[in-house]
Chain A
Amino acid sequence: MRKTFTFHGGIHPPENKHQSVRTPIADAGIPPELIIPLSQHIGAPAGVVVEIGQHVLKGQMIAEAQGFVSVPKHAPTSGTIHAIEDRLIAHPSGHLAPCIVIVPDGKDEWIECKGTPHYETVDKVKLIGLIRDAGVAGMGGAGFPSSVKLSVKAGTHIETLIINGTECEPYITADDALMRERAEQIIEGAKILRYIIGPQETLIGVEDNKPEGIAALRAAAQGTGIEVVDFPTKYPSGGEKQLIEILTGKQVPSGGLPSQVGVVCQNIGSTVAIYEAVVHGRPLISRVTTVTGNAVREPQNFQVLLGTPMRYLLEKAGYQPEKNRRMIMGGPMMGFTVPDIDVPIVKTTNCLLAPTEAELPTPPPAQACIRCGMCAEACPASLLPQQLFWFAQGKEFEKLEEHNLFDCIECGACSYACPSNIPLVQYYRASKAEILQQRRDHEKAEASRIRFESRQQRLEQAEAEKEAKRAARKKAAEQRAQSAGTDTGEDPIQAAIARAQAKKAAQQGAGDEQSELEKLEKTVVSAQKRLDTATTKLEQAKAEGSDFVEALQTGVEKTRTKLAAAEQALTAYQQSHNQAAAEQDAPPVDAAKAAIEKAMAKRQAEAAMSPLEKAQSDLAKLQQRLQKTEEKLAQSKANGDEEKVIVALESTVVRLSEKISATQQTLQAAEDA
C-alpha cells in the first residue's frame, strides 16, 4: 500500500452517487439537432471551416483551432450544416455565443479515421499534435486543452503523472462508470500519456467510495507499472491541488503550476479521449454524462454526442419539469445553473443535476456571521473564510489579497459548512472579479499617465531647445555685427554639421513623425507584453475554478485583438510613411549620412542667411510639411484607415500648426529687430 497524505479541511456531503450507477452507460442516440459552440470554455474560439448547407461526416473538422490555447471542433455525427449563429450556451453568465448547428442525416457515417496503435514509434510532439487535432480538452471543471497541459516546458522534470479518478463531487458518476466499464481504455490512455511525459511513476488516484471502479482499474493495470491508489473519501480531494497533496505530499506553490512540483494531472474522461484519439484516430465528439437528481425518473449515465440539447438528454432519463426549479450543470458543490434546458452538452458537461426543492432547498436568507470558524475548519486551502467575508463586505481589497483570496479554489466547502447560510463563495467570486478589474484599470491609468508625462516632457524639452537656439542665434548675430568682415576662425561648415547632427538627434527623440512611429511601436510592444503576462496568468489560473479562468480568458482575447489592432496601425503607418519618403525621392541608403550632407549643404547656404531670412525659410518648410500631412490625413480618412493612424496624423497636423505659429512669432521678432 502506498502512503497517502491528507489535506487540511474538507467536508463530507451526502454522496448521492448510487442512484446513477445502477445501470450501465446508455447510448443517448442522435438528437434532431446538434449545437456546437465554437468556444467551449477555455481558449480562443475555433474558426469555422464549413459553410451553411454543407454536408459533413461524423468526425469531420468543422472549426479549426486558433492559437495555442485552442482546440478544433468536429461534427459529432453526419449531417448538414444548418446554421452558424449565436445560441444560448451553458455558461454561468447565460450569454449567447456563436455556434454551428448541424441537422443529422441519421446515417452516422464516419469520416475515414487513421489510428496510430503503435504510438511508441511516433514522435512525442506529433502525438501531442494528434491529441490537439482531436479536440481533446479537460473534461472536468475548466476544460483546459489537454495538449497544452502535456506540452511541459523543456527542462521541467516530471516525477509523477496523475490520472484523476477522484470524482469527489456528490451525484456525479461519469468517471466511475468509465472506470467500471472501460478500465482497459483508461490504462491504455495512461500508457500513452506516460510515453509522452516520461514520468518516474504513473498513479491513478481514486476515492475509496468507488470499490468497483478501483477493482476494474487494478485488474487492467496489472503488469503495466501503473499504480491505482485509493484514499479516504473527502470533498474536495478531486481538486487538482488537493489530489497532488494527497498522492505526493507536495503543495503546488501559490500561483504556480503542478509541473513546478514535478506533477502533471489528467482526468479520466480526457485519458479515454486521448486513447481514442491516438489509437483509433477518432476526435472527441461524445462523452459520458451523468443525468441525475430526484426530478428525473431514471438517473443514469449516457454516452452522449457533444452538442446534444440538454432537453433531449433529460427526456431520455425521464425528466419531470414540474418537480424541478433549477438545472445544474456539474455537481451540487461547484456546478452552475443553466438558464434554459435547450443549451447544448459540451466537453465539460460531466453531469446534469435536476434536483427537487426538497433535495436541494432554496437557501434561506443569510444570518450574521457568528465567527464560529466552521468555514475555516472546512477550507482545503487553509484560508480564513470568515475574515475574507468580512473584508469582502467592506471591500477591503488589499486585506483580501493579504489574506490570500486568490488561493481560494471556490470549492464551496466553507459555504456548505456555514451555519449562518452566508453565501461566502459568492462574495469571493465578486471580489476577485472586482480586484481583477481594478488591476486592469490601474494598469491602464498608469500607462496613460506615463504617456502624458513623457509628452509633457517632450514639449518642455522642445520649448527649452527653441529658447536656447533663439538665444544662440541672437548672440551669433551680435557677434557677426561686431566682427563684420573679420575672420573669427570659426569654421562655418563644422558648425553646420554640428547643428545638423543636433537637429537630427532632436528629431529622433522628439521629431513629429518619428515619435508617431515610436508611439505605435511602443503600443505594439506593450500589447505584446500584456498578452504574454495575461497568457501566463491564464495558464496559472486554469486550475483555480472556472469563473476566474473565464475572466482571464476574455482578458487574453481582448489583449490579443488590441495587439492585432496595434500591429495593423503600425504597418499602416509604416506603409504610408515609406510612400511619403519615396515621393520625396530620398534614397534610403544611409539616411543619417544623407541627412547630414543635406544639412551641410543647407547650412552652408543658411550660414549666410540673416535670422529674418532663416525664419522665413523655416516657415516655408513647415508650411510645406503641414500641407503634405494634411493631404495624407484626408487620404487616410477617405480610405477609412484605422482610427489610430488618423489620430496620429491629426496630432501631427496640430503640432505642425503650433510650430508654424511659433515660427511666425520668431519671424515677427526678427522683423522688429
Chain B
Amino acid sequence: MALMRLTSPHAHGPMSTQRVMQYVLLATVPGIIVLTHFFGFGTLVNILWGCVVAIACESFALKLRGRPLGFYLKDCSALVTAFLLCIALPPYSPWWLIAVGIASSILLAKQLYGGLGYNPFNPAMAGYVILLISFPVQMTTWAPPLGAGGEVPGLWQALQACFTPGQYDAVTMATPLDVLKQNNSLLIEDLWQQNPQFGTFAGLGWEWANVAFLAGGAWLLYQRIFTWHAPVAMLASLSLLAAIFYDGGSSASGGSPLFHLFSGATMFGAFFIVTDPVTSAVSLRGRLIYGALIGVLVYLIRVRGNYPDAVAFAVLIMNFAAPFIDYYTQPRTYGHSDKRGEK
C-alpha cells in the first residue's frame, strides 16, 4: 500500500467545532432547569419546538445550497441557535412566533450570508430582534415566577400554550426590569417591597436563572471554549455604570449593580451571546473592547431606551463594530516593535 502524503502538522488537538457546540448546549442546562422551576415548562417546550424548526430550516437551506446535509448538521450550530433564541423568548410563546423567529435566525441571519462562520450578526439575537419589532406584544408578556402568586403551569398547559395558543389563557406579569423602568416615584427599597417580582437581590426567579447561566459560563471558561475577556468586560462595564448611576437608591435610580448583573438576560448574554465567536471581535484586546461596549449599551438601553431589556440590541450593534475593532487591535507580532507590518 502506498504511503499517504500529508503536510504537517500531523497531530490534532482534542477540540472540534461539534464539541464546542455541544459544550455550549450542555452549559445552558442549569439555566434551563432554573427557568423551568420558576416559570414552568414554557421554556422547555419553546426549545423542543425550536429545535425541530431549526433542523428543518437548516436542512432546507443546505439542500437549496447543494451542501451535504449530514456533514453540516453535525456541527450542531443550528441547535445552538435554537436553544439560545428559545431561552430568550418568553415562555409559553405560540408555535408560530417561535417558527418565525427560528426561520429568521437560520435562514436570514445565517444561511443567507453563507452559513456558519460567515454570518456577521448573531443569528439568535437577529431573530429575537426581528420578533421584538414585529410582535412586540407577544414578545413582552412574561409568565409570573413561582412565588409571585398563582400556580406555575404544567407540561400540558405549556404544550397547549404553544400549539393552540388561542385556547390558552395566559397569566402574565411585568418583569422586574419593566417595573423598574416604569417606576418614577418610589425609592428602590419601597419598590422592592411593594412588588412581588423582586427576590433576594434581583428579580424573583431571574436572579437564580442568572446564577445558573453564570455557572454554565464558568464551566465553559474552565473548558477553554472561550476566553474570559468579552464576558468579564461586559459585566464590568455594566456594573460600573450601574454603580455610578445608582444614586443611593432614589426614585430616579437606575438600579443597583447587583440588580443589573442578575436581572434579565445579563448572565445569559454575557456567557452565551457575547461569546459567540463568529460575530464577536477576535483578538483578546478586541474582545475586551467589544464586551465593555456591549455592557455600556445594555445599561443605556435598559435605563434610557424604550425596551426593557437590551442585550439583543446591544449585541447586534456591536456585531457591526466587530470588524473595525479587530482592525485596530491586531496583536503585536513576534519580532515587531509595533503592530501592523511595521518593524
Residues of A near any B CB (own CB < 8 A): 7-8, 11, 13-14, 92, 94, 170, 241, 245, 251-256, 321, 324-328, 330, 332-341, 353, 355, 360-363, 365, 367-374, 376-377, 380-384, 386-387, 401-404, 407, 410, 412, 415-421, 423, 425-426, 429
Contact = CB atoms under 8 A, between A and B. Distances in A.
A252 B335 contact: yes
A337 B4 contact: yes
Which residue among A94, A245, A325 has the maximum number of chain B CB atoms within 10 Å of its CB? Answer: A325
Contact of B5 (A333, A337, A412, A416): A337
A339 B282 contact: no
Interface residues of B, number: 45
Contacts of B331: 8, 376, 382-384
Given A367-B17, A369-B117, 7 more contacts: A252-B335, A326-B4, A368-B75, A373-B226, A384-B331, A402-B341, A403-B330
A362 B13 CA distance: 13
Interface in B1-49: 1, 3-13, 15-17, 19-20
Contacts of A92: 7
A416 B117 contact: no
A336 B8 CA distance: 6
Interface string B324-339: 0010001111111000
A355 B332 CA distance: 37
29 contacts: A7-B334, A8-B331, A13-B11, A13-B13, A241-B335, A252-B335, A254-B335, A326-B4, A332-B10, A333-B11, A365-B71, A367-B17, A367-B75, A382-B334, A383-B331, A384-B331, A386-B282, A403-B340, A404-B333, A404-B336, A407-B336, A410-B8, A412-B8, A415-B9, A417-B13, A418-B15, A419-B19, A420-B16, A421-B12
Nearest to A363: B12
B179 interface: no
Interface string B160-187: 0000000000000000000000000000
Contacts of A429: 7
Contacts of B17: 367-368, 370, 419-421
Contacts of B115: 368
A254 B8 contact: no
Interface string B73-97: 0010100000000000000000000
Interface in B86-120: 115-118
A339 B3 CA distance: 6
B83 to A, nearest CB: 16
B283 interface: yes
B277 interface: yes
A341 B16 CA distance: 33
Does more than half of chain A's interface fall in helix, strand or loop, or is it mixed?
A: loop
Given A254-B343, A367-B17, A384-B330, A412 B6 contact: no
B340 to A, nearest CB: 6
A33 to B, nearest CB: 20
A93 B164 CA distance: 66
Contact of A370 (B4, B9, B117): B117
B20 A326 contact: no
Interface centre among B8, B13, B226 (most CB of A within 10 A): B8
B284 to A, nearest CB: 8
Give 3 closest A-B pairs by Cβ, nearest first. A412-B9, A368-B117, A254-B335
Nearest to A377: B227
Contacts of B10: 326, 328, 332-333, 335, 337, 353, 355, 360
B8 A371 contact: no
Contacts of B330: 384, 403
Contact of B8 (A7, A334, A382, A420): A334
A7 B335 CA distance: 12
A236 to B, nearest CB: 10
A193 B255 CA distance: 70
Nearest to B10: A332
Nearest to B340: A402
A136 to B, nearest CB: 26
B11 A360 contact: yes
A200 to B, nearest CB: 23
A251 B11 CA distance: 28
Contacts of A420: 16-17, 117
A324 B3 CA distance: 8
Given A253-B335, A363-B6, A387 B282 contact: yes
Given A253-B343, A404-B336, A407-B335, A337 B13 contact: no
A335 B277 CA distance: 31
Given A13-B11, A254-B343, A415-B12, A371 B278 contact: yes
Contact of A255 (B5, B11, B277, B343): B343
B11 to A, nearest CB: 4
